[in-house]
Amino acid sequence: MNNQEPDLQKILRNIKDLFFQDHNITLMGKFVWLPVNEKQSQRHLKKFGKELKYQRRKFQITETYEKVDSDNDLGESKTVGRFLRFYHLLISDINLDDMTFYIIGDNCVGPLLGEKIRYKFHVTKDYLSFTLLENVMIAIR
């Protein structure tokens, strides 16, 4: 691995240990933002008068790094009663221009209960130090 190719799995584990130690993470992985479709672009242009180039709300999981096994009742996405419970922690690629990346915390605690939170982090060039720049709730179940 050279200096231009960060190990996202290692970075995600470090972020989990630093910022999410109180969360019961059931899945860690990588995601990509979905592209803006034509309908979204036209609606945004009509409403705000400018072109929508990207969106930071809808995403797709592309890789699964780790699923937590349920030895201690904290584990893998599980059904409680009839309802699924999970907490997914997902990382995006690092933007090498400004050394930022996104983390999505996707939490589901029951029927129509939960949220998705987008965290934006800044990382140093050596990938050892992280700064939380923003956290925004992007969806409520």
Q: What is the pLDDT of residues 23-40, one digit of tens each?
A: 989 999 999 998 888 888
Residue 3 inside a domain? The answer is no
Q: Can you give the length of the chain in residues?
A: 141
Task: Give residue 105's domain range.
Answer: 8-140
The verdict on residue 120 lying in a domain is yes
User: Has residue 126 been placed in a domain?
Assistant: yes
Structural domain includes residue 1: no
Q: What is the mean pLDDT of the chain?
A: 85
Q: How many domains does the chain have?
A: 1
In the chain, which stretches have pLDDT less than 50? 1-2, 70-76
By percentage, how much of the chain surpasses pLDDT 90? 50
Q: What is the pLDDT of residue 54?
A: 79
Task: Look at residue 80 and tell me if it is in a domain.
Answer: yes
111 found inside a domain: yes
Quick check: is 2 in a domain? no
pLDDT of residue 3: 53
pLDDT at position 110, please? 79
In Å, what is the CA distance from 48 to each residue of 44, 57, 81? 6, 18, 44
Instruction: Determine, yes or no, domain membership for 55.
Output: yes
pTM (2 decimals)?
0.81
Cα end-to-end span (Å), the chain: 39
3-state class of 77 per DSSP? Answer: coil
Backbone angles phi, psi at 13, to 5 degrees: -65, -40
User: Rg (Cα) of the chain, in Å, rounded?
Assistant: 17
